[in-house]
Amino acid sequence: MALVTGVDVTEIARLERALGARWGARFAARVFTEGERAWCEGRNPRLRAESYAARFAAKEAVMKALGTGPGQRAGWHEIEVVRVAGQSPSIRLHGRALATAERAGIAGFALSLTHGAGIAIAVVVAEVRRPQP
């Protein structure tokens, strides 16, 4: 077994500007899944941009752990931050991102999110199962 990490920092104000722009709803729909949008929109309005920024950072961190960027091997909606009440946030992959993880031997992810002082940070650790020699 090996571990692969991905880390990303996102400026909360940058996401707040994108969401507040006249095309903000289109941006949110393009980058975030319906479940992610529901979670963020259901938060205290003061925490809305922080929640979106943390999820954006998580998607970027997962892409780094997968060794890719948004595009052919992983799309924004194919990496989902899932939040179940009483549990830590987790990563769920779909489509090309899932296939990319399977090809890389990634068995699962650990996710840590934090935000404050104008930034959101996501750390992802992927467990890679290598064939036994």
Q: Say if 80 falls within a structural domain.
A: yes
Which helix (H) or strand (E) is 119 found in, with range?
A: strand 119-128
DSSP output for 50-103: HHHHHHHHHHHHHHHHHT--SSSS--GGGEEEE--TTS--EEEE-HHHHHHHHH
pLDDT tens digits, one per residue of 20-57: 999 999 999 999 999 999 999 998 988 999 999 999 99
Tokens found for residue 59: 């998607």
CA angle centred on 6, ends 68 and 96, rounded to 5°: 35
Q: Give me the pLDDT at residue 132, please.
A: 45
Amino acid identity of residue 117, one-letter, is: A
Residue 55: CATH number of its domain: 3.90.470.20
Q: Work out the pLDDT band at 72, boundaries 50, 70, 90.
A: confident
pLDDT tens digits, one per residue of 109-133: 999 999 999 999 999 999 998 754 4
Domain extent for 21: 2-128
In total, how many domains does the chain have?
A: 1
